[in-house]
Amino acid sequence: MPPAHTALICVALPGLAISTEQGQLTGRGLEGVYRAGRRVLSRCQVRVAGREPLPVHARMTAADRALFVGTLRVSPDAGPDPDIVVERVRHADGTERITLHSAAPRPLRLPVEIALGTDLADLGAIASGRTGPELPASVHDCGLRWTCPSGNSAVTAHPPPTDALASAGLLRWEFELPPGGSAGVELRVRPDGAGPLRAAGRTSATTLLAPARAAGDHPGVQPLLHTCVEDLQALLLRDPSHPTDTHLAAGVPWRCGLAPAEALAAARMTLPLGTRLAVGTLRTLARTQTTGPGPRSGMIPGPRRDAGPHLPPSCTATEATLLFPTLLAEARRWGLPEKETEALLPAAENCLNWLRTTVGDDTYLNDPQPGGPQRCETQAHAHRAALLGAELLDAFGRPGGAELRHWAWSLRTAFQRDFWIDDLGGGRPAAARSPDGRLVPHLGAATAHLLDTGLLGGGEPAPGLLDKVQTEQLARLLGGPAMDSGWGLRGLGAKEAGFNPFGHRSGAVRTHETAVAVAGLIAAGYQKEATGLLRGAIAAAETFGHRLPEMYGGQQRTDGSAPLPHPAACRPAATAAAAGVLLLTTLAGIRPDAPAGTVTLRPAAGAPLGELVLTGLRVAGAPFSVRVGRLGLAMVEEAADGLQLGV
């Protein structure tokens, strides 16, 4: 798999542009412009006066575009200083603007050549090293065209080139630049006959995600929230058969499609930005729900996922099915209208019916079904879905709420007994129970989900699976040096067998789980442990240019060190960008109950990042702003008319 961690990735799905800091597209590795997973341009090399510009600067200027600057010395008497600056602005939609700026004291006549090529390879072939040679080009409509049995691509140029050589894939111009003058070329790349790219996040009549902003004492909060919201917009996709319904792709470059569990988790973490993403995701997944007789009836389909060295792969269908009613219930609390909630209620009921049918007379939910282990995080997801689902059913006069609450109570009672491992250090929750009842004792980030209990009416968190003493011990473990790398929460404790700081589920820091842990620790009142993880994640975000990857190395932080990127991580990733939103909004402790017309604030004690002001959020369908002072006191500065502050 070609490394992606050093690439500059412009995203506006279904378009991508992947570049190195050199700026030139050479066709090596992942470099190129993509549309819907196919590389429509792999090579774009600029030469001025027969030479390539010397790269001096490269940076992302937005989620969907990057700037590259190079210099040249073309005047024979210019001395050591460059007198031509070549500026390139590359967009995810396949547009690139190349501009030459002259600082020469006299007019210049400059030949400019752009060498173009593509293999029209799909991303899967590129990832596995199965790409073919570049395709032959033909001259076409002020540019070049390539075609093969699986597709075609074309580049058009403005102004039209002076010369076009198909055999060399070359476009040429002659520019006259006066002293201080500029000239430029605009290239447009797209599949032959395709119209301009209409990215879901850029073409909505109204903004799908609220344009939230952050300010405060910590200099990292403003760029982090800005970048996270931009990345989320860039990852939006429309359901082709229902274009009004929008969801998030899992991540770039490897997972540009829908991953149900990740899409639901990300939509849940971004509820402070409004409920439109949540409802679009829920509608899209409701249409995929398994129906008819059989043990999978009511499930939201999803693939298996690696679970590390100690457990077999988990089933993301189980996680997605449990997240569905949770997201619907919490979206209603944040302001999803009753009519839209009720329309999705049958799908949520199907998920809850699957849960009760699958558990049957047992206490625990196996994952995967049948015969898989009983994972601690699966019980946490199921417990939360049962309690929030019961409240949702009661609100709409549907039966089944009492049965779900009774099962949740039985699960909570049994879990505190059966899943707790006593030891000299105070004990720990088991990662899982095998079908024969043996406990899997390793400590991992999945235990953070035990702290994520969900939001009930009146701004009250749902009860969790652990008792108070066990919760305190888990907080101590998550905030300890084995789990807290100094940059965030490790996927597996550093002292556990099989620990690998780059392991997907065996030691790398996963941004999503770090945010879940921070939010859960703050809600449970463990500010010290939450603050350590929070500050580590914010510091890591700064080193990654505030674009958090889905995971990064779990090595211990030391003075002067930096978190190590994971070469296979998606960046941007839906759950990572959404986690950045959760990290900041959880500091204000916003707990809305839109049906009751109230919002409760439970900010983090001690204001871990100093004063924080969040504006442009959405609660009950209206703009919402909150200020958290340096003493940890929160104040609403903007809210919907009639929304009352809860106690």
443 and 575 in a common domain: yes
Please list the residues that pair with 304 across neighbouring strands: 315
Question: Would residue 533 count as lying in a domain?
Answer: yes
Asked if 636 contacts 625 with a C-beta cutoff of 8 angstroms, the reply is yes
158 and 270 in a common domain: no
250 and 177 in a common domain: no
pLDDT band of residue 231 (cuts 50, 70, 90) is very high
543 and 404 in a common domain: yes
CATH number at residue 147: 2.70.98.40
pLDDT band of residue 205 (cuts 50, 70, 90) is very low
Q: How large is the angle between the packed helices 316-334 and 376-395, nearest 10 degrees?
A: 40
**Domain span at residue 126?**
8-190
Domain boundary among the residues 130, 159, 190 is at 190
- Percentage of the chain beyond pLDDT 90 is 88
CA Rg, the chain, in Å? Answer: 27
Question: Which pLDDT tens digit goes with each residue over 513-567?
Answer: 999 999 999 999 999 999 999 999 999 999 999 999 999 999 999 999 999 999 9
State the Cα–Cα distance between residues 404 and 53, nearest whole angstrom: 66
183 and 242 in a common domain: no
pLDDT average, residue stretch 324-334: 98
323 and 270 in a common domain: yes
Question: Would residue 1 count as lying in a domain?
Answer: no
391 and 360 in a common domain: yes
pLDDT average, residue stretch 454-467: 95
Residue 499 has pLDDT above 50, yes or no: yes
Nearest residue to 151 (alpha-carbon basis) of 190, 94, 96 = 190
- For residue 120, give both structure tokens: 């029209």
pLDDT at res. 204: 52
248 and 121 in a common domain: no
Residue 76 has pLDDT above 90, yes or no: no
Domain count, the chain: 2
pLDDT average, residue stretch 85-108: 95
Residue 41, C-beta contacts closer than 8 angstroms, at least 6 positions apart:
25, 32, 33, 94, 116, 117, 118, 153, 155, 189
State the Cα–Cα distance between residues 310 and 508, nearest whole angstrom: 15
The per-residue pLDDT of the chain, averaged, comes to: 94
Question: Would residue 3 count as lying in a domain?
Answer: no
Question: Would residue 644 count as lying in a domain?
Answer: no
Question: Which pLDDT tens digit goes with each residue over 562-610?
Answer: 999 999 999 999 999 999 999 999 999 999 999 999 999 999 999 999 9
425 and 333 in a common domain: yes
Residue 479 has pLDDT above 50, yes or no: yes
**Displacement of CA 432 from its chain's centroid (Å):** 27
pLDDT band of residue 83 (cuts 50, 70, 90) is very high
pLDDT at res. 438: 93
Residue 58, C-beta contacts closer than 8 angstroms, at least 6 positions apart:
8, 19, 21, 22, 23, 66, 67, 68, 69
566 and 441 in a common domain: yes
Question: Would residue 316 count as lying in a domain?
Answer: yes
Question: Which pLDDT tens digit goes with each residue over 100-111?
Answer: 999 998 999 999
Question: Would residue 70 count as lying in a domain?
Answer: yes
Question: Would residue 195 count as lying in a domain?
Answer: no
Question: Would residue 2 count as lying in a domain?
Answer: no
pLDDT at res. 203: 55
Question: Where do runs of H (alpha helix) occur along 243-375?
Answer: 260-269, 276-286, 316-334, 338-359
255 and 182 in a common domain: no
CATH number at residue 592: 1.50.10.10
Residue 194 has pLDDT above 60, yes or no: yes
Please list the residues that pair with 165 across neighbouring strands: 170
221 and 181 in a common domain: no
Residue 131 has pLDDT above 90, yes or no: no
